[in-house]
Amino acid sequence: MKLTILGNNSTTASAGGACSSYLVEASGKKILMDMGSGSIFNLKKITGVDDIDAIIITHHHFDHFVDIMLMRYEKEGRIYMGEEVKPIPLYTPKMPDWLFESLNKNHLFDFHFIEKDETVNIGELSIDFVPVLHLLETYAVRIKDGEKVLTYSADTGLCQGILTASEDADLFLCEASYGSYDPYVISHHLTGKEAGEIAKMSTVRKLLLTHLPEHGKENVLKDAQEVFRNTELSEIMKSYEI
Ligand SMILES: [Zn+2]
Ligand SMILES: [Zn+2]
């Protein structure tokens, strides 16, 4: 299984950066998890939009899905030029009406609305969706290829769901939006220290931090490493073998 980081900025994207988006390649499938702002440009450096076998949107905050709108425009443009464009399976929480109406045109996507604690199979991959604590319906993603496990936290605060989703994961891609020094610490995101604590409790093999703040990343890493040593900061356009 291979994970490539297409975007790892938190809500406030940095100059030249991109918000949450992750390409997973495993068992001959390409799965795109989240499509934050700026990520589609990085995706196209690696693969064509039509090569994606499925898209997962963990929740409907703009820093996690807004580039799917650009994908819509791109595909529609090709349809108007007479090209046949195949629909992409889209796994998402139930959408607000305005969003569904915007995306449900020209059969660009096959919609699959995620149910709580649902498991879906894409080829040989088994994917669990575990509800986590955030400001709106949000799912952590646990992908198994028969040998290895990759967990992506989505956006979450400390909760049982993220412990369940990350249990014994080989790679735990976890949000760490703040340093513990930060007075602006809120319950629907994690600090570096909290990400480290979850990794330790869940006995994961490796912790990879994402959804990183524009400033103070090194402090977030240091806080996590004090609790869980095998921790790295994710880097945009870097791939990780699992
Ligand atoms: Zn976010
Ligand atoms: Zn969010």
188-226 pLDDT, tens digit per residue, is 999 999 999 999 999 999 999 999 998 889 999 999 999
Query: Sorting pLDDT into bands at 50, 70 and 90, what band is 178?
Result: confident
- What's 96's DSSP letter? P
Dist. CA 63 → ligand 1 center (Å): 5
**Contact indicator for 181, 159 with CB cutoff of 8 Å:** no
Dist. CA 155 → ligand 1 center (Å): 6
Nearest to 36 by CA among 22, 24, 47, 25: 22
pLDDT of 179: 80
Dist. CA 135 → ligand 2 center (Å): 7
Q: Is the pLDDT of residue 183 over 70?
A: no
Number of Cβ within a 10 Å radius of residue 45: 9
Q: Can you give the pTM of this predicted structure?
A: 0.96
Dist. CA 133 → ligand 2 center (Å): 10
Q: Which domains does the chain have, with CATH numbers?
A: 2-241 (3.60.15.10)
**Contact indicator for 150, 171 with CB cutoff of 8 Å:** yes
93-138 confidence digits (pLDDT tens): 999 999 999 999 999 999 999 999 899 999 999 999 999 999 999 9
SS3 66: coil
CA gap 118, 140 in Å, rounded: 11
Segments in 97-180 forming alpha helices (H): 97-103, 160-166
